[in-house]
A and B are shown apart, each in its own frame.
Chain A
């Protein structure tokens, strides 16, 4: 490399000296004064190079030099006799030489930027032509203009020299940095391997070491190596399968980087295998974690909620069965995952997709919690209904509330058989209400009849027609009551109609007939309201105390 530049520097030196001297004699006059000697040297160099390149392999080193020397002397003698000189070939010959110089400059500086080449070529050739006093510039061009041209050429040369030096300096820095990066890459690989070993991924570490050696040899940039190190740390530190999306992205990125590497396919394969080994560890980690969660789900939550919901596990265990079924499916998926080979990108994506699906399934636990809470809430509502039936003065309100509860039951996320059970529960409570009403009505009617009949009995004989009429009415009323008792009451329109009809009938009879002694039976309260109010507060305090005790 240095010898190549030596040629350019020599030309530059000649040009600069020539231009700086400002002499019209200069190099050319020196040449023409000694052209025989100079031509001889040129021929000597030329023929020795030619003969050496042609005959060196055949005759060794000495003979070609001797042959070149002979040829040089011969042609030198011919020039001496004829008075010819190489310089006589004129501007055309030197123009050819200039073009050769230009080609050389371009070839030597091809690694540099375009403008450096142009500056160098123009400057060097310009100086050379001017310095050699070629008649490129006519005599009419005065010396001042020639001097300006020379100065411009000198500036161009100096500028190109500066750029060349700067570029060489920058390249040296880049080379040093690259060297340092490779060293960093080695360090990073070592750290990565250590991290992997620490995380009990010995295989991955070995592979990492091997792979990183390959990476260093191939000039694998530190960024990629560090990325890989991050991945190894990720595999050892991350315990959240939800992050599998990030893992997938990292893998795709690294696979892309590996494919882009300018190394042979074997090295790429080695790196891919390294990556897959690391991923394999991660997948196993994810699978193990998911398996644990599934086990926890099976052993804990399913049974737990069946107990909470039904209190007596033997009565209802559908949720338990459902949970077990769900868990069975999950376990099958786990087995599928475990059986998958993990050495290809397609499988990687499959594993991650299935793992995410499994994780979603495990979130069913939360769903069961919500269902359990809803279920309890619904049971409480129905229980409340059964105890608050007396608050429903008319059937319409009751019916509407029952419909609301029916809708809530249908929306509940449990099996149909369980919904049927809750509906039956609700139906029974409604029937209780109807039966209670019928009994109450019957009692009222009986009281009315008894009272009326008694009263009519007392006055019997005084108003036999009235007595007879009332007795007949009482008989009709009793028949109606019997019919009511036999009615099949189902959420019923019948019950509502019966209630209305009977109420109206009793009211009419009470108002139109003799004054009834009927009194609504007094409902017995467990406590007086004052005690109830006081005790509710006490109960609240005690309950809070119990639930904060632990």
Chain B
């Protein structure tokens, strides 16, 4: 989770305009990449310390957050989701 991503999210929260579709897709793919790195690192540590239950719990918790983010991102694209509600489209396509 880079500082850049967190700062970017803060900017979106602060500004008046809602998140755009391309921003959401970028954040989503960025999260996938970041999570895979962090997860990989954690798994290596688990391999090195097989008896360390705290690492396992940490991974489980991380995966829980990650899946929840996944679900949220998926729902916003679905019919009746965030982007449809905010009218992110007009007859010419993306606004």
Q: Which residues of chain A have a CB within 8 Å of any CB of chain B?
A: 299-300, 303-304, 306-308, 311, 313, 369, 372-373, 376-377, 380, 383-384, 387-388, 390-391, 523, 525-533, 535-540, 542-547, 549-550
Q: With A303-B92, A539-B5 known to touch, is A546 a contact of B36 (CB < 8 Å)?
A: no
Residues of B within 8 A of A369 (CB): 78-79
Q: Are B42 and A529 in touch, CB under 8 angstroms?
A: yes
Q: Which residues of chain B have a CB within 8 Å of any CB of chain A?
A: 1-2, 5-6, 9-10, 12-13, 18-19, 21-22, 25, 27-29, 31-43, 45, 55, 58, 61-62, 65-66, 68-70, 72-74, 76-79, 82-83, 85-86, 89, 91-94
Q: With A376-B77, A543-B72, A546-B12 known to touch, is A529 a contact of B91 (CB < 8 Å)?
A: no
Query: In the complex, A538 Cα to B93 Cα: how many Å?
Result: 32
Main secondary structure of the interface of B (DSSP, over half): helix
Q: Identify which of B27, B38, B45, B77 contacts A526 (C-beta below 8 A).
A: B38
Query: In the complex, A304 Cα to B90 Cα: how many Å?
Result: 8
List the 7 shortest-distance A-B pairs measured between CB atoms, nearest first. Answer: A535-B1, A532-B38, A542-B9, A525-B41, A536-B65, A307-B93, A387-B36
Q: Identify which of A536, A542, A547 contacts B35 (C-beta below 8 A).
A: A536
Q: With A304-B93, A527-B1, A527-B2 known to touch, is A539 a contact of B72 (CB < 8 Å)?
A: no
Residues of A within 8 A of B37 (CB): 387, 525-527, 532
Q: With A376-B77, A550-B86 known to touch, is A391 a contact of B93 (CB < 8 Å)?
A: no
Q: Are B94 and A532 in touch, CB under 8 angstroms?
A: no
Q: Identify which of B2, B13, B36, B76 contacts A390 (C-beta below 8 A).
A: B36
Q: With A303-B92, A546-B19 known to touch, is A533 a contact of B77 (CB < 8 Å)?
A: no
Q: How far is the CB of B84 from chain A (nearest CB, A)?
A: 9
Residues of A within 8 A of B79 (CB): 369
Query: In the complex, A538 Cα to B91 Cα: how many Å?
Result: 36
Q: Identify which of B10, B40, B89 contacts A542 (C-beta below 8 A).
A: B10
Excluding A313-B94, A384-B32, A540-B72, 12 further A-B contacts by CB distance (< 8 Å) are A307-B93, A383-B29, A391-B43, A525-B37, A527-B38, A528-B41, A532-B41, A533-B61, A538-B1, A542-B10, A542-B13, A546-B18
